[in-house]
Structure 1
């Protein structure tokens, strides 16, 4: 079905990033992780395409492992 879109599609990426930071403001680490998990599940439900979501999971994992190996 759909292929994962990785180009910037946000009208204002900096504004979204700021909103994301604000959503985490004042939360404990546990609450912050829970917010992230809930956000991922809400967005995954909105996307609804298992193939695109699988690509996203794989890309996020690879990027995370690559980032960790550079530290």
Structure 2
């Protein structure tokens, strides 16, 4: 059973962060929220494993 990978797996995390920020540039708060929701659903579909997704949801909520 796959588990959530929480270690850095990006070859260039700064490049991803820059792309993420660029994606939200010049958007309203509502548009930015829509982009985030779409991104979450696209990545969840790509992952496709409900156990991993539940683990990610739980992990994301910790400390909030």
TM-score by length of 2: 0.97
> CA shift at 1:57, angstroms?
0.1
Alignment-derived partner of residue 41 in structure 1 = 41
Structure number with higher helix proportion: 1
Distance 1:50 1:14 in 2: 28
Alignment-derived partner of residue 32 in structure 1 = 32
> CA shift at 1:29, angstroms?
0.1
> CA shift at 1:60, angstroms?
0.2
| Structure 2: segments with no counterpart, 5+ residues | none
Alignment-derived partner of residue 20 in structure 1 = 20
Distance 1:30 1:57 in 2: 22
TM-score by length of 1: 0.88
How many equivalent residue pairs?
A: 64
| Structure 1: segments with no counterpart, 5+ residues | 66-71
Alignment-derived partner of residue 50 in structure 1 = 50
Moved segments of 4+, more than 6 Å: none
> CA shift at 1:5, angstroms?
0.5
CA-based RMSD:
0.6
